[in-house]
Structure 1
Amino acid sequence: MGYMKYTQYVYVVFALYFIYSGFTKMNDGTDTAVLHFAIAGLAMFMFFFRRRFLKKFEDRNKKQ
């Protein structure tokens, strides 16, 4: 389960990419910038969700 500690950071990378992409789309004048910001927000939510889930999982294993 060591890989779970590192896979949560993939969501941060996706969020940064979609934020960058959203700003470039916003400057171009296309309507998809809002969608890119929404996906970035979802990626950040998944980062914090996975982080919390992993902490609960580790705490449960320490109690046993």
Structure 2
Amino acid sequence: MVKILKYTEYLYLVVAVASIYKIITLWAAAPKETYIFIFFAVVSLAMFFFRRKYRKRFEERARKKDN
């Protein structure tokens, strides 16, 4: 189950990178349309760090339970 949590972390990074790419490509043409992608990038990065923190906490708890 911990492996699944690790993969979902990186899915958030993929969404953030895709959003940042879209921001860069759209900025000159239509800056107002980039705000939604800025939101997605910020939320995705926040979720990445949030999920990472809790996955590590979950692993630590599982390690202590096994010992």
TM-score normalised to the size of structure 2?
0.85
2:10 is the counterpart of 1:9: yes
1:6-57 residue CA offsets vs partner (Å, 9 max, x unmatched): 2210100000000111111212124121221121011000000000010000
How many pairs align?
64
Q: Which residue of 1 aligns with 2:28?
A: 27
Higher relative contact order (CA 8 A, sep 6+): 2
State the 4+ residue runs in structure 1 displaced beyond 3 angstroms. none
Report % sequence identity.
Answer: 36
- Write the mapping of 1:20-59 to structure 2, written as runs, cut at 5 A: 20-59=21-60
Rounded to whole Å, the distance in 2 between the matches of 1:29 and 1:14 is: 20
Which consecutive unaligned segments of at least 5 residues does structure 1 have? Answer: none
Counterpart residue identity of residue 18, structure 1:
S
More divergent stretch after superposition (12-21 vs 30-39): 30-39
CA RMSD after TM alignment: 1.1
Counterpart residue identity of residue 57, structure 2:
K
TM-score normalised to the size of structure 1?
0.89
